[in-house]
């Protein structure tokens, strides 16, 4: 006998569950972020690990270590190339200072002519502000060092989680299956298979999108004549994986570096180039390479990005789309949660209660047709 519960009780349970999960996500940030990253990378590396086990006859421990080290080497290589470019950029620091000094001088002159504020008063205000900034310099340096330490810790734990997920993947799948009754074993296997398929396709598509955007940006920056075209192209490709805000961050960084090294005229070309690349990415690359893998509507993505940033910062924004896609796969296959899966998707089809919708719209259509067919008595001709 199926027991039904009132709507207010279901809603209360949902809200309480969301609050508890959010609280656990905040207090468990240090462990959950590398765990989720490690899980996604492990799913991506699983075909490579299986290839080494079946074709090369490697033991699972060795194949897991080699696959994890390969991923770590690729990430480390990208970081190393970027660090070399940043080191070269440091050599142009005098040019940065000169450009911004000239800009500030022109701005002071405009303020003096427009608002009547003397340059002396402006300098006094700037000096006071600089003294206050110097007093907080130690705190800023301490925060920067903590950030570097956090990145190193995140990388180390992500590597360990990737390794252990690959090593114990069969054990973890058996645990998930054993956690449910035999009636739901088929559904559990279906959810696991769909999550693995979606994550692999999404991450591969995301990498291809990043590569294509990087190549397009490199071509555009080379034609314009930007000095640090390679570094800016890589930054544009990497930041582009952040939906909606990544491209604006890349635009801001590119405009500042170009202004300091080339001038105002080149900044305009950089802005035009990034806008055109973003339009090509949003209308051609994204729908064909990534969009077909994950069908989450834009409203849910925006809400997820905001919540992800509130919970885990930049890492939360990076993990938003794959986490939402995994949630949708689970919701679509669990009885009682299909409506939430429909809410997160883009399809107009409602497979669970489609018959109810068809009956409703059929009744509405028939009522409209009756209204159109039955004539108004006032319009009948009089004898």
For residue 140 the two structure tokens come to: 């800023």
Look at the block and give the residue holding tokens 């130690």: 138
For residue 16 the two structure tokens come to: 């309480």
- d(Cα 264, Cα 99) in Å, to the nearest integer? 10
Asked whether residue 356 carries a pLDDT value surpassing 90, the answer given is no
pLDDT at res. 120: 67
Confidence of residue 133 (pLDDT cuts 50, 70, 90): very low
Per the model's pLDDT, the better-predicted residue between 308 and 241 turns out to be: 308
Question: What value does the CA radius of gyration of the chain take, rounded to a whole number of Å?
Answer: 28
Asked whether residue 371 carries a pLDDT value surpassing 60, the answer given is no
Q: DSSP label at 73?
A: H
Q: DSSP label at 369?
A: H
Q: Could you give phi then psi for residue 276, rounded to 5 degrees?
A: -65, -45
Asked whether residue 262 carries a pLDDT value surpassing 60, the answer given is yes
Asked whether residue 154 carries a pLDDT value surpassing 80, the answer given is yes
Confidence of residue 137 (pLDDT cuts 50, 70, 90): very low
Q: Tabulate helix, strand, coil % of the chain (nearest 5).
A: 85, 0, 15
- d(Cα 47, Cα 169) in Å, to the nearest integer? 12
Asked whether residue 58 carries a pLDDT value surpassing 70, the answer given is yes
Mean pLDDT of 302-322: 85
Average predicted confidence (pLDDT) for the chain: 78
pLDDT at res. 145: 47
Question: CB-based burial of residue 220 (10 Å sphere; 0-12 exposed, 13-18 middle, 19+ buried)?
Answer: buried
Mean pLDDT of 161-183: 90
Asked whether residue 300 carries a pLDDT value surpassing 80, the answer given is yes
Angle formed at CA 86 by CA 251 and CA 133, multiple of 5 degrees? 80
- d(Cα 221, Cα 253) in Å, to the nearest integer? 13
Residues 177-187 pLDDT 10s: 888 888 888 88
pLDDT at res. 67: 92
Mean pLDDT of 260-269: 77
The least confident of 47-61, 66-80, 93-107, 213-227 is: 93-107
Contacts of 188 (CB under 8 A, 6+ apart): 176, 177, 180
For residue 300 the two structure tokens come to: 């849910």
Look at the block and give the residue holding tokens 């009132």: 6
Confidence of residue 200 (pLDDT cuts 50, 70, 90): confident
Asked whether residue 242 carries a pLDDT value surpassing 80, the answer given is no
The least confident of 133-142, 196-205, 275-284 is: 133-142
- d(Cα 182, Cα 107) in Å, to the nearest integer? 73
Confidence of residue 215 (pLDDT cuts 50, 70, 90): very high
Asked whether residue 69 carries a pLDDT value surpassing 90, the answer given is yes
Q: How far is CA 316 from CA 18, 32, 36, 95, 166, in A?
A: 16, 10, 10, 36, 23
Mean pLDDT of 79-96: 73
pLDDT more than 70, % of the chain: 73
For residue 255 the two structure tokens come to: 């405009």
Q: Are 161 and 37 in contact (CB under 8 A)?
A: yes
pLDDT at res. 309: 85
pLDDT at res. 59: 93
Mean pLDDT of 201-227: 87
The least confident of 115-119, 200-204, 333-337, 370-374 is: 370-374
């Amino acid at each position: 006998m199926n027991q039904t519960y009132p709507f207010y009780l279901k809603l209360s349970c949902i809200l309480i569950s969301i609050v508890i999960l959010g609280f656990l996500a905040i207090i468990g940030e240090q462990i959950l972020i590398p765990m989720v990253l490690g899980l996604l990378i492990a799913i991506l590396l699983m075909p490579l690990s299986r290839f080494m086990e079946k074709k090369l006859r490697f033991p699972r421990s060795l194949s897991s270590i080699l696959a994890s080290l390969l991923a770590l080497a690729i990430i480390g290589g990208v970081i190393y190339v970027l660090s070399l470019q940043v080191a070269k950029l440091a050599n142009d620091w005098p040019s940065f200072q000169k450009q911004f000094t000239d800009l500030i001088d022109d701005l002071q002159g405009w303020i003096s002519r427009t608002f009547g504020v003397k340059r002396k008063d402006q300098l006094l205000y700037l000096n006071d502000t600089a003294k206050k900034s110097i007093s907080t310099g130690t705190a800023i340096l301490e925060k920067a060092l903590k950030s570097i330490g956090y990145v190193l810790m995140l990388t180390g734990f992500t590597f360990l989680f990737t390794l252990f997920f690959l090593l114990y993947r069969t054990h973890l799948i058996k645990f998930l299956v054993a956690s449910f009754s035999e009636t739901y074993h088929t559904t559990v296997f279906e959810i696991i298979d769909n999550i693995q398929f979606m994550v692999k396709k999404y991450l591969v598509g995301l990498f291809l999108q990043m590569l294509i955007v990087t190549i397009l940006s490199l071509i555009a920056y080379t034609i314009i004549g930007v000095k640090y075209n390679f570094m800016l192209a890589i930054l544009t490709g990497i930041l582009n994986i952040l939906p909606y805000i990544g491209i604006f961050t890349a635009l801001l960084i590119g405009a500042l570096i170009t202004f300091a090294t080339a001038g105002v005229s080149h900044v305009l070309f950089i802005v035009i180039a990034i806008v055109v690349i973003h339009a090509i990415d949003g209308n051609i690359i994204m729908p064909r390479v990534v969009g077909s893998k994950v069908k989450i509507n834009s409203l849910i993505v925006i809400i997820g990005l905001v919540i992800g940033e509130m919970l885990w910062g930049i890492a939360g924004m990076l993990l938003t789309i794959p986490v939402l896609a995994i949630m949708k796969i689970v919701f679509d296959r669990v009885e009682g949660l299909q409506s939430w899966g429909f809410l997160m998707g883009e399809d107009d089809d409602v497979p669970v209660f489609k018959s109810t919708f068809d009956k409703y719209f059929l009744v509405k259509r028939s009522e409209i047709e009756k209204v159109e067919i039955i004539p108004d008595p006032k319009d009948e001709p009089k004898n």
